[in-house]
Amino acid sequence: MQSPSPSLQGHHVPGATEAEYRETGGGRPSITSRIFRYGRRFAAVVVLLLATLYLGLLAMRWTKPEPLFEDPTAYLDASNCSVSPDGQTAYLFLQHPARLMHRDSIWAVNLATLERELLPDAALKRHPLVPCGIGCFASVVSMDGTKMLGALQIADSADFFSLDLATGAVAKSDPEEFQSEANHGGWRFERVRPLSGNGGGILRASRSNDDLAEPFMLDTHRDPAVAAADPMQVFYIASDGTVHHHDARTGADAPLGLVAEGGHGLRVSPDARWLALGVARGRAQLFEVATGRSRVFEHSIHSLAPGDRPVIHTGGIGSRSRWTLSGIEDDVELVTEAPVGQLRPVAGGRFLGLDNRTEAAYLFGSEGKVVATLREPSDQRD
């Protein structure tokens, strides 16, 4: 048998001829050529996977019906809910975080028929006036009902916008427009003279209708609250640290009681029988308007309902909320547990709460009973 060529001894690949060996360059492919070869294969696999993922996301976007209330972690609470000046329409402003396939939406809900309409897409987080991922912590409907005014949290400050409810057009706004156009039961509160340091000042109160002869002034520490059932009953925290009740029909103005340390965020029940405000160390103070008596709770109070014993919505954002019945002297009685955000009074003494977890909004009647749920089954969503 002929022995292999000396130049191939120890390096010859079995089954290869000498010509094939020479065509390979006399040995294995270089490291550079191997890197390029395997790199091209890896890049092809990555591109294929990304294309598959993109097509899958597109398919989900166009085939999955968009629910009325999407990701429950996307909004802060029901401050994203505003009610029209006539109390007949609720505007639900849902701002989603800056994540893939999520967008902002505004729904108009007829509170008499519960019919819903998706308003023109505002796309606020894509608007140059508003940075991505900013939470809307306040929204109100203007006095004429044509636009929504919102305040957006940006770091430690706030920015303001206005949104045309007919076209969805967004424009930059300012605190003065937000305050003066905000609907407080038909009231317009304009800051005449600010008080340094505490955010209060002298407010000029006026109404757009003719049931108030002359505007009046309020020396407030915070912005006032108005009863839904009787908007002529105005409540405010005065600069001296007391809660005041102002009857706009008679002009009578009287203090109800002293606010506990750190008082802020005054709320009034729709029937004007109860007041609540936050105080220091995460607690809350409840006032009975008729007697002026008050009680401090060891938890926050986000909402009040009408009745002899107000339904109190407690619990914070992201926690399991609790609805309780209580009075000034009564023991707290648990009614139900539901993660419903802050309430908004609506027509007929009812009030609306936006659920932060179950993609629904609830319409409550007296004593905290749910009278309607603004949600369709998943297979019937538009």
Domain ranges of the chain: 6-63, 66-183, 187-337
- Tell me what pLDDT residue 367 has: 54
Q: Which long-range contacts (CB under 8 A, 24 or more apart) does 228-233 make?
A: 228/87, 228/185, 228/270, 228/345, 228/346, 228/349, 228/351, 229/270, 229/271, 229/272, 229/306, 229/349, 230/271, 230/272, 231/184, 231/185, 231/186, 231/187, 233/268, 233/272
Residue 60: how many CB atoms within 10 A of its CB?
10
Are 186 and 85 in contact by the 8 Å Cβ rule? The answer is yes
Q: Name the residue among 192, 207, 201, 139 with its Cα closest to residue 170.
A: 139
Token pair belonging to 123: 């796309």
Rg (CA), the chain: 31
Q: How far is residue 283's CA from residue 277's CA, in Å, rounded to a whole number?
A: 9
Q: Which residues have a Cβ under 8 Å from the Cβ of 143 and sit 6 or more positions away?
A: 85, 181, 183, 186, 188, 208
The runs of H, that is alpha helices, within 64-135 are none
- Tell me what pLDDT residue 244 has: 92
- Tell me what pLDDT residue 245 has: 92
- Tell me what pLDDT residue 243 has: 92
Are 347 and 305 in contact by the 8 Å Cβ rule? The answer is no
Q: How far is residue 80's CA from residue 216's CA, in Å, rounded to a whole number?
A: 30
Model pTM above 0.85: no
Instruction: Say which CATH architecture domain 187-337 belongs to.
Output: Beta Barrel (2.40)
**Tell me: the pLDDT tens digits for 294-332?**
888 877 776 676 677 776 666 544 445 566 667 777 666
Residue 171: how many CB atoms within 10 A of its CB?
12
- Tell me what pLDDT residue 146 has: 84
Q: Which burial class, exposed, middle or buried, applies to 14 when counting CB atoms under 10 A from its CB (0-12, 13-18, 19+)? A: exposed
- Tell me what pLDDT residue 202 has: 83
Q: Which residues have a Cβ under 8 Å from the Cβ of 230 and sit 6 or more positions away?
A: 271, 272
The low-confidence residues of the chain, meaning pLDDT below 50, are 1, 6-10, 12, 62-79, 96-103, 126-135, 155, 316-319, 376-382
Token pair belonging to 367: 């004593």
- Tell me what pLDDT residue 179 has: 65
Q: How far is residue 221's CA from residue 190's CA, in Å, rounded to a whole number?
A: 14
